[in-house]
Structure 1
Amino acid sequence: MTGARAIARDLWYLPTSASNAYLWRTATGSLVVVDPGLYGDEATVLGAIAELGGTAHDVESIVLTHFHSDHAGAASALAEATGAQVCAGFRDAAVLRGESPAPSPDLTAAERPIYESIAAAHPENMRAPRCEVSVELEHGDAVDAGESMIVHAVAGHTWGSVALHLPHCAAVLTGDVAINGPGGRTTLGPFNVDRDRARRARRRLAALDPRIAGLGHGPPLLRDAGEALRDATDVFAGPS
């Protein structure tokens, strides 16, 4: 079993090897995959789709909340396996295509040893994966024709970060604007290019007053998500 878990009607949470993927079935029956994970995690995603009674050809879109490899590394392989279009925020799309360099995060003192440890153990995961993005997302775009998944631009973690709002089920998919951090606390994600902007983005998502939040890492919030996002800590904060 791959472990896909329903968190709302037609919305599933799927832990991958280093982050979280989400599967959403649209009103027309097609599937949207959000953040398929590291290279190799495409097999986990395809296995979950099969368990839900679908096939690779049901995947219409692969949406990337940002370019980091733990979220986007499997996108190219999954697109090849499914024929789906890849969608990303317009500034991150250029990084994924190799047209622009990946910006370095502005690390705090608390983040630096964590970042260096990951870089030493998995240097391949610190490079932006290459992927042909065919749809560049901007704030207010609808991922589907029924306008059931709305794009929110949330620059700060990366310059092209996006979050996704599903108003019909009072859910948001935050990417790394918010994660389930140490001790199970909801916190701002680490390794941001602009921490203040990331904090403001988190507050904007809280203002949507979602009931459910699918976070970038760790279990999703299944109730009172808006309150949890408003009260989120920043456990990685510290002098840069």
Structure 2
Amino acid sequence: MNQVAAGVTQLQIQRFVNVYFVESANPGEWVLVDTGLPGSEQAIIAAANQLFYPGTHPTAILLTHGHMDHAGSARALAEHWQVPVLAHPLELPFLTGRAVYPPADPTVDGGGSLAFVARFFPPQSFQLTDVVQPLATTDNDVPYLPGWRWLPVPGHAPGQVALFREADRTLLGADAFATANHESVPALLLQRPQISVAGAPFNYNWPQVQESVQRLAALQPQAIGCGHGPVISGPAAAAGLQALADNFPMPAHGRYVAEPARLDEAGVSYLPPAPPDALPRQAALVAVGAGALLAAGALAYFWNRPRPSHGSARKRRPRGPYRFNEDPENPFPAYPYKEVYF
């Protein structure tokens, strides 16, 4: 576990996904921010017991958005702790099984290794109807966390929110950006600090992503924790985020670059057409080519292999002899003595 700021602790799960334990100003109370991938509940419960005391539970679980790596263990933890799950109303269609998020874009420019694996991600949606509650939008106060406010940061998910504590300028940025190169698996595994774009294949509205980064950079945070990457604090936090805002790397091409998807309180209302994805065709051509090479190699082997001359035959060297029914204690041998060669 890593400390982001006073009363804010980051837990890294599988060196890829982060969740946060945020203590309230009220003694003994805390909130869990995000829940990691499905199956992360035991690691989160064990960390909470270690950080606070055995059997502890939060006042609530707050989801920055409903993607699988943030909401994956929400039901298991809500049922274990018997606490509500809070999320922005625009995330509810995806958290109550009424809609799925826009498809990932594996063709996006600069998507890196994440774009490749995005082809195999299942449609993202959860059924949390009986445990999830809408985050109040009448103000920006974070329930159960006095001194914190939430900010809308759409583009990656329609109801994605970041959390900010003005007193010490602590920012939990969700997937509005990342604190490691999200498009490089080695960079994520090594946890090299680098403020960068997060989840490019899953960003459905690139202008909104840019606006969200600019909105958060204006806060001049002094400590940052995001959904992916290590903690960054001190002058590097504000400087790195401002550099990303000033030099935002808008992709040159991709499904949602020129024309974003449109989402509303019911889910997805419009999807731009998917551009051609060359990789499946290339993979098929590689498979066909590999099969042809294997077939040609097999044909050449059998065509050129040595053949015995006409009339010659390999003599089989006998192994044995093996004697059957030669047991002197058997008074009723079924057959006479034989020698058999294999």
Measured against the shorter chain, the TM-score band is 0.7 to 0.9
Unaligned runs of 5+ in 2: 255-342
The answer as to whether partners of 2:104 and 2:119 remain within 8 angstroms in 1 is no
1:131 aligns with 2:128: yes
Of 205, 208, 226, the residue aligned with 2:219 is 208
1:238 aligns with 2:236: no
- Offset at residue 167 of structure 1 (A): 1.6
Indicate the residue corresponding to 2:312 in structure 1.
none
SS in 2 for 1:231: helix
SS in 2 for 1:15: strand
Bigger relative contact order, structure 1 or 2 (CA pairs below 8 A, ≥6 apart) = 1
SS in 2 for 1:58: coil
1:23 aligns with 2:34: no
- Offset at residue 71 of structure 1 (A): 1.1
- Offset at residue 159 of structure 1 (A): 0.8
1:21 maps to a residue whose letter is V
TM-score (norm 2): 0.63
Indicate the residue corresponding to 1:143 in structure 2.
142
SS in 1 for 2:217: helix
Unaligned runs of 5+ in 1: none
Indicate the residue corresponding to 1:226 in structure 2.
238
- Offset at residue 239 of structure 1 (A): 1.1
SS in 2 for 1:165: strand
1:187 aligns with 2:184: no
Indicate the residue corresponding to 1:95 in structure 2.
94
- Offset at residue 109 of structure 1 (A): 3.2
- Offset at residue 238 of structure 1 (A): 3.2
SS in 1 for 2:37: coil
- Structure number with bigger Rg: 2
- Offset at residue 139 of structure 1 (A): 7.7
The answer as to whether partners of 1:215 and 1:221 remain within 8 angstroms in 2 is no
Indicate the residue corresponding to 1:74 in structure 2.
73
* Ranges of 4+ aligned residues in structure 1 off by more than 6 Å: none
Give the whole-Å Cα distance in 2 for the aligned partners of 1:239 and 1:155. 20
1:12 aligns with 2:9: yes
Give the whole-Å Cα distance in 2 for the aligned partners of 1:237 and 1:199. 11
The answer as to whether partners of 1:176 and 1:215 remain within 8 angstroms in 2 is yes
2:252 maps to a residue whose letter is G
Give the whole-Å Cα distance in 2 for the aligned partners of 1:139 and 1:70. 28
Indicate the residue corresponding to 1:167 in structure 2.
166
Q: How does 1:26-45 map to 2 (within 5 A)?
A: 26-28=24-26, 29-45=28-44
CA distances 1:101-149 after superposition (whole Å, capped 9, x unpaired): 32234561332863342443xx45x522332311335384222356322
Indicate the residue corresponding to 2:109 in structure 1.
109
Structure 1 residues 202 and 56: alpha-carbon distance in aligned structure 2, compared to 1, 3 A threshold: farther
2:75 maps to a residue whose letter is S
The answer as to whether partners of 1:110 and 1:236 remain within 8 angstroms in 2 is no
The answer as to whether partners of 1:35 and 1:65 remain within 8 angstroms in 2 is yes
Structure 1 residues 127 and 12: alpha-carbon distance in aligned structure 2, compared to 1, 3 A threshold: same
